[in-house]
Amino acid sequence: MADVSVPPAGKRRRFAPLLVIAGLASAIVLSLSMTGTLSAFVASITNGNDTAAVGTMSLLETGPDGKTTCTGTSSTAASCATINKYGGNLVMVPGTTVSTNTVTFTDPGTTAANTFTLTPTACKSTPTPSVTVGDLCTKLKVVITSGGTPLYSGFASGLTAPITLTVPAANAATTVPVTFTVSVDGTADNTFQGTSASQPLTWTLST
């Protein structure tokens, strides 16, 4: 039968505390490796008022009477038939009758514009022009000025290209006046009796 050596009881008692101490040390090392650093320095800043907003742009037109107004915004394009730049005189006489009307424009919004443009639509004569009915657009003289600066002078039929105007300042009392002087040329003959002309005009502010 093999001889199994058994350490004396005193040696076994001394060896047991060493095992306990080694186990505790291993546990501490493992704990530190899992938790990382026990403390750190921290500095921080929070900005609680980070805001932004979109401005508004609008165009206010005031008629020759100084009372009738029309407002267009970036979300609502206005269509105003109550302000007639050509005056609406239906009994004009060739060579003698002159109609002068001044409208004004302001930008009551908060956003400044970079351009202000007048874009005319083709003039239309009624009744339909023919051999016996004249085309009033070719005889309707139109002169447009702004603050003394000439913008157009010619017949309504030739008013087709966009016109650049002075830009009204945003949210300010700056007013841009535009004057229309309209007359029927003296060469208009009997074929123009009873005719009328219309020409829609579009005003646009843009950034």
Domain assignment present for residue 44? The answer is: no
Given this model, what pLDDT does residue 117 score?
97
Q: What is the number of structural domains in the chain?
A: 1
- Note the pLDDT of residue 157: 98
Q: Is the pLDDT of residue 20 over 60?
A: no
Is the Cα dihedral 117, 87, 146, 95 positive or negative?
positive
Q: What pLDDT was estimated at residue 56?
A: 86
pLDDT band at 6 (very low <50, low <70, confident <90, very high): low
Tokens of 146: 């702004």
Instruction: Please tell me the predicted confidence (pLDDT) of residue 173.
Output: 82
| Residues paired with 206 in a beta bridge | 115
Domain that holds residue 71: 58-206
Is 40 part of any domain? no
Question: What is the pLDDT confidence band of residue 8, given thresholds at 50, 70 and 90?
Answer: low
Region of residue 147 (phi > 0: left; psi between -120 and 50: alpha; otherwise: beta): left
Burial 178-199 (b: 16+ CB within 10 A, else e): bbbbbbbeeebeebbeebebeb
Predicted confidence at residue 93, as pLDDT, reads 96
CA distance 70 to 55: 20
pLDDT band at 57 (very low <50, low <70, confident <90, very high): confident
Please state, for a pLDDT cut of 90, what percent of the chain lies above it: 69
Question: Which helix (H) or strand (E) covers residue 120, if one does?
Answer: strand 115-120
Rounded to whole angstroms, the Cα distance separating 159 from 123 reads 8
CATH number for 125: 2.60.40
Q: How confident is the model at residue 40 (pLDDT cuts 50, 70, 90)?
A: confident
Q: Is residue 82 part of a domain?
A: yes
Instruction: Report d(CA 9, CA 206) in Å as an integer.
Output: 101
Q: What is the pLDDT of residues 123-173, one digit of tens each?
A: 999 999 999 999 999 999 999 999 989 999 999 999 999 999 999 999 988
103 in any annotated domain: yes
Residue 32 in tokens:
């530190």
For residue 14, tell me if it sits in a domain. no
101, 85 contact by CB (below 8 A): yes
In a domain, 70, yes or no: yes
Q: In this structure, is residue 75 part of a structural domain?
A: yes
Tell me the whole-structure pTM to 2 decimals.
0.76
Q: Does residue 36 carry a pLDDT above 80?
A: no
For the segment 46-69, the average pLDDT, to the nearest whole number, is 92
- Whether residue 15 has pLDDT greater than 60: no
Name the token pair of 73. 């915004």
What pLDDT, on the 0 to 100 scale, is given for residue 54?
87
User: Does residue 131 lie in a domain region?
Assistant: yes
- Report whether 95 contacts 186 (CB < 8 A): yes
For position 191, what pLDDT does the model report? 98
